[in-house]
Amino acid sequence: MTHCITHACGHEQAHYIPGSTSEKARKARWLTTTKCRACFVADRKAEDAAAGALDDAAVAHLCLAPLVGSERQVGWAASIRAKRLARMVQAAGGGDPDPACVAVGDARWWIDHRDLSDADLLTKARAAAPAYVPAGDGAARHAA
């Protein structure tokens, strides 16, 4: 059965709540203490944007290689790279991360390696950095 719940944010939202009568009542009471889906998603996006801005500020002083890839890859890889490098800058006590990580400009590389530990990422970056050759026109090319 669908229940119309007024959430803590003041918005109403329909919820399907299965279970026994007591379970339904308990779940309905709990839902009144939470935000509606739209407010939850908006808050999450705002938190992600704020975290991204902090990461960007932490790596703003670095001379990063331009990212190369499709528009979507570059957008995603930029956030991954900023997050990872910001964490490395913090771990280094505010110093610069390894130059190999700064030199990698392949968006796909950052996406493919996003789940590696910092140590593994650094090892992979050191292996990949010599293959990354910046072209004179500001674009990047991979060495054959």
Distance CA 103, CA 2 (A): 54
Number of domains in the chain: 2
DSSP for residue 36: -
Judgement on whether residues 27 and 87 belong to the same structural domain of the protein: no
| pLDDT: which is higher, 16 or 103 | 16
Distance CA 71, CA 68 (A): 9
Residue 6, domain extent:
2-35
Judgement on whether residues 6 and 58 belong to the same structural domain of the protein: no
Judgement on whether residues 64 and 116 belong to the same structural domain of the protein: yes
Judgement on whether residues 24 and 71 belong to the same structural domain of the protein: no
In a domain, 75, yes or no: yes
Judgement on whether residues 116 and 85 belong to the same structural domain of the protein: yes
Judgement on whether residues 126 and 71 belong to the same structural domain of the protein: yes
The residue among 68, 64, 135 whose CA lies nearest residue 103 is 64
List, for residues 46-93, the tens digit of each pLDDT value: 999 999 898 888 888 888 889 999 999 999 999 999 999 998 888 878
